[in-house]
């Protein structure tokens, strides 16, 4: 058996093999290699695209939601303030003009009635008490009743003076009420003095007979309550069962959060494996000056508190125009593009995790804060692993099979050629009585049969000449 194998190996047409097999194998190898390179590149790039896409979707969703949340929150606060202001102004009017005689008309506002009842001799007393309660209830920065005659009552939750805020308002408010508007709303603006976003609402208190405003109720509210809502949103609603982390940096109060929730109801905590890389900057809380306030899960190694201002500046520079009303506006598209460009902006380990930031803007396109999303990419590296573990061996296997096939084909081809060549040699030694076996029905077989015909003719010729010689 071994001997036979040796013979087969020995008497294969290596010349043919060199001529055909080597180039074919080279072509197969080069092809396989190029396919491998192209596929791995494709896989890698598609991996990147996938991750970026997914992150962009995530951040878009998040910033959409946060934006919506902020909006809802603001409008909710506004609505409640307006409602209450209307009640307050009505109550004040009631107590001042009908002096306790028409309480029954204000059954829906019993609080006001109660407060007003105490204010038999001081029509503003009840109102002031109510202002305080409102301030407490909604966390107002400041609430005050500004009489046109200069009398003002003020309830302040924080010892902060909004200062010029009211002065600048006053003209606008007067103009608005002169036009007969029900209330005036000041859009949120960034106040340097307070280092916060502040918005305000004003409602008039009207003279019942003349319908002219006798006083304004002015309320200002800092946006930190809104930020808190947004943070809560980013910290809870989007984390169930995902392997992503979210963080929120408020413009005013910097809050960084790392979060990984496996099941509903768990305490917010980082994924142990994930936090090793990302808790550094997603798990600590900082105050306005960048001091570390709280680091529950946090290891603040990579990102020092001193890095934060630069960080925020960086993301302010790449500020993304987020306009809720125009879903497919150019600004929105640009927003997505910029998100994609910054997909790696915050990544500490490009191979393992991606993270980036989206900026939430208010209606004046000022940034309210930044949302960070980071993501473990291990699930996206599966194609590469498959490529490495499956593709390479299979390519090697294919090359081997091709080589074997070519070898066998050439052996099959070379056998009749060898026999033919041997026969011709035998004829050259003087034996004209042979017949080459016609093994195949192809060109080689044709050559063999032609050779047989030729030998037959020579044999006849020789016989003729021999007979002639004998004669």
Partner 1 sequence: MSLVVVAGQTYDETLKMADFVTHFGHTTVCAHDGAEVIAKVHSVLPDVVLIDAATPIINGFQICREIRSNPVFKKIVIILVSDSGKKATKFYGLHQGADYTITKPLDENMLSKMLKKAAK
In 3D space, the residue among 154, 145, 201, 151 whose CA is nearest the CA of residue 173 turns out to be 201
What 8-state DSSP symbol labels residue 119?
T
CB atoms within 10 A of CB 188: 22
Q: Going edge to edge, which strands form the sheet with 213-222?
A: 152-156, 142-147, 213-222, 196-206, 184-191
Least spacing, CB of residue 10 vs partner 1, in Å: 8
Q: Which is nearer to partner 1, 265 or 430 (CB)?
A: 430
| Three-point CA angle 13, 18, 23, nearest 5° | 140
Asked if residue 183 lies in contact with residue 191, where contact means CB atoms within 8 angstroms, the answer is no
Least spacing, CB of residue 421 vs partner 1, in Å: 3
Least spacing, CB of residue 425 vs partner 1, in Å: 5
What 8-state DSSP symbol labels residue 381?
S
Q: How far is the C-alpha of 203 from the C-alpha of 173, rounded, in Å?
A: 8
Q: Which is nearer to partner 1, 39 or 454 (CB)?
A: 454
Least spacing, CB of residue 445 vs partner 1, in Å: 17
Q: Which is nearer to partner 1, 79 or 431 (CB)?
A: 431
Return the residue matching tokens 């020579």. Answer: 458
Least spacing, CB of residue 449 vs partner 1, in Å: 18
Q: Which is nearer to partner 1, 303 or 436 (CB)?
A: 436
Q: Which is nearer to partner 1, 84 or 423 (CB)?
A: 423
Q: Which is nearer to partner 1, 16 or 299 (CB)?
A: 16
Least spacing, CB of residue 418 vs partner 1, in Å: 4
The Cα-based distances of 59 to 47, 54, 64, 69, 105 in angstroms read 18, 9, 8, 14, 51
Q: Which is nearer to partner 1, 206 or 419 (CB)?
A: 419
Longest pairwise C-alpha distance within the chain: 169
Q: How far is the C-alpha of 406 from the C-alpha of 90, rounded, in Å?
A: 99
Q: How far is the C-alpha of 440 from the C-alpha of 327, rounded, in Å?
A: 75
Least spacing, CB of residue 13 vs partner 1, in Å: 8
Q: Which is nearer to partner 1, 31 or 422 (CB)?
A: 422
Both tokens assigned to 110: 């019993």
Q: How far is the C-alpha of 398 from the C-alpha of 29, rounded, in Å?
A: 10
Least spacing, CB of residue 420 vs partner 1, in Å: 8
Q: By the criterion CB under 8 A, which residues form the site for partner 1? A: 7, 10-11, 13, 415, 417-419, 421-423, 425-426, 429-431
HSE-up (13 A, CA, CB side) for residue 469? 6
- In three-state secondary structure terms, 440 is coil
């Amino acid at each position: 058996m071994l001997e036979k194998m040796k013979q087969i190996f020995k008497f294969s047409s290596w010349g043919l093999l060199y001529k055909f097999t080597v180039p074919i194998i080279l072509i197969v190898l080069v092809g396989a290699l190029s396919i491998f390179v192209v596929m791995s590149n494709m896989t890698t790039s598609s991996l990147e695209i996938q991750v970026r896409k997914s992150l962009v979707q995530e951040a878009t969703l998040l910033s959409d939601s946060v934006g919506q949340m902020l909006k809802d929150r603001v409008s909710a606060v506004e609505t409640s303030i307006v409602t209450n202001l209307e009640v307050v102004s009505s109550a004040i009017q009631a107590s001042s003009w009908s002096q306790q005689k028409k309480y029954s008309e204000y059954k829906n506002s019993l609080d006001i009635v109660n407060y007003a009842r105490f204010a038999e001799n001081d029509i503003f007393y009840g109102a002031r008490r109510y202002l305080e309660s409102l301030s407490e209830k909604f966390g107002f920065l400041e609430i005050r009743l500004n009489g046109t005659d200069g009398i003002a009552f003020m309830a302040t939750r924080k010892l902060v003076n909004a200062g010029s805020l009211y002065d600048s308002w006053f003209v606008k408010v007067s103009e608005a009420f002169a036009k007969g508007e029900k209330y005036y709303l000041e859009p949120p603006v960034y106040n340097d003095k307070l280092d916060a976003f502040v918005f305000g609402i004003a409602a008039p208190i009207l003279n019942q007979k003349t319908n002219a405003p006798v006083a304004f109720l002015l309320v200002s509210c800092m946006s930190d309550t809104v930020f808190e809502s947004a943070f809560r949103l980013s910290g809870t609603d989007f984390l169930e069962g995902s392997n992503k982390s979210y963080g929120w940096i408020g413009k005013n109060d910097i809050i960084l959060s790392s979060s990984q929730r496996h099941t509903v109801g768990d305490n917010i905590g980082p994924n142990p494996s994930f936090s090793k890389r990302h808790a550094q900057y997603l798990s600590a809380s900082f105050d306005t000056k960048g001091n570390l306030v709280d680091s529950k899960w946090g290891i603040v190694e990579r990102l020092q508190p001193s890095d934060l201002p630069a960080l925020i500046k960086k993301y302010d520079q790449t500020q993304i125009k987020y306009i809720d009303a125009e879903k497919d506006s150019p600004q929105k598209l640009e927003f997505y593009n910029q998100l994609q460009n910054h997909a790696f902006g915050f990544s500490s380990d490009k191979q393992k995790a991606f993270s980036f930031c989206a900026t939430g803007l208010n209606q004046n396109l000022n940034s309210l804060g930044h949302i960070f999303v980071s993501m473990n990419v291990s699930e996206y590296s599966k194609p590469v692993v498959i490529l490495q573990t499956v593709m390479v061996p299979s390519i090697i296997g294919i090359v081997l099979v091709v080589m074997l096939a070519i070898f066998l084909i050439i052996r099959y081809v070379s056998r009749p050629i060898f026999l033919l060549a041997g026969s011709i040699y035998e004829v050259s030694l003087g034996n004209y009585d042979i017949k080459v076996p016609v093994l195949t029905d192809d060109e080689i077989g044709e050559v063999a049969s032609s050779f047989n015909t030729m030998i037959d003719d020579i044999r006849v010729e020789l016989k003729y000449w021999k007979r002639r010689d004998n004669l």
